[in-house]
Amino acid sequence: MVGATLLWSIAGVVTRQLDSAASFETTFWRSFFNAVALLVLLGAVRGFGALGRSLQRGGGILWLSGGCWAVMFTAFMLALTMTTVANVLVTMALAPLLTALIARVALGQRLPARTWAAIVVAGVGIGWMYAHELGAAGTGAWAGIAIAFGVPLAAAINWTTIQKSSRGSGDLLPAVLIGAVLSSAVTLWPAWPLRASMHDIGLLALLGVAQLAVPCLIAVAAARRLAAPEAALLSLLEVVFGVTWTWLFASEVPSRDVLVGGALVVGALVANEALALRRRAGVVAAT
């Protein structure tokens, strides 16, 4: 899951290198290349016949997950073109809390105190990091933030759906492909005519393959072995990694507030996972 967030985190810094591609066109090309890469990867691993059967037999839960991925793919890129990367990431930080609440209702999961505490501390850290960004946001930026809210909401539903599927025999890896196809389909018309330069298309192809296809498959596999709120909590590392990318490749030296907030996020994650491992080790020893 940590590896997936590392790959996800390059979206902001790569998007800022685009020359002229508009919002819907950037979303279309990224989702298009994501769909192509997923088709090749899943076809090679599963076989195209088995992939087709999974899509046919997946049922409503597969398509629900696919719809969630489509919302996440589309809302994220649209929001990035309307407001700052920081505003988008801080909005996405709502995912653990939303996931915990939805998982509590849908799955009846009782969260340990350590997870609730980690969610609170991580949320405080994210708020600390980007409070000045939100305070300076204009009307257009707030519209982008509103669209970005679709990402944590869809993510919360998706993590819970994946967790519910893991209790049975459901296979939700093809849902990522469904999401990519839906996202590219719904953004093609508003993106037409396509005017992106070859430079931009190359960068968007990188995002579609390395920033979406590969880490999303990793995340689905990891989420089947993690509690839904824990998966969402680990996804907060995307925020910290995103700041690091801009520090290294865009010469944006993080402020004291960013360093303090990042320390709170990482500290919450480390404490939560360390306590979880300690508890599991105690259960194994007792058994």
Which pLDDT does position 101 carry in this prediction?
80
Which pLDDT does position 91 carry in this prediction?
82
Q: Which band of pLDDT confidence, cut at 50, 70 and 90, is reported for residue 140?
A: low
What is the percentage of the chain residues whose pLDDT exceeds 90?
24
Question: Higher-confidence residue: 49 or 6?
Answer: 6
Flag whether pLDDT at 23 surpasses 70. yes
Contacts of 153 (CB under 8 A, 6+ apart): 71, 98
d(CA 21, CA 279): 50
Question: Higher-confidence residue: 18 or 170?
Answer: 18
Query: What's the rounded mean pLDDT across residues 113-133?
Result: 80
Kindly report the pTM of this predicted structure: 0.80
Q: Which band of pLDDT confidence, cut at 50, 70 and 90, is reported for residue 217?
A: confident
Q: H-type helices in the chain, by residue range?
A: 2-8, 11-15, 23-46, 48-57, 59-80, 85-92, 95-106, 113-135, 139-148, 150-166, 173-191, 198-206, 214-223, 228-234, 237-249, 256-286
d(CA 208, CA 179): 12
Structure tokens at 255: 């402020």
Contact (Cβ atoms closer than 8 angstroms) between residue 27 and residue 187:
yes
Flag whether pLDDT at 135 surpasses 70. no
Helix (H) or strand (E) holding 194, with range, is none
d(CA 41, CA 127): 37
Query: What's the rounded mean pLDDT across residues 258-281?
Result: 78
Q: Select, from the ranges 56-70, 107-121, 267-281, the one with the highest average predicted confidence (pLDDT).
A: 56-70
Question: Higher-confidence residue: 68 or 46?
Answer: 68
Look over the chain and give the mean of its residue pLDDT values, rounded to a whole number. Answer: 82
Span 151-178, pLDDT tens digits? 999 988 988 887 777 654 456 778 889 9
Which pLDDT does position 136 carry in this prediction?
58
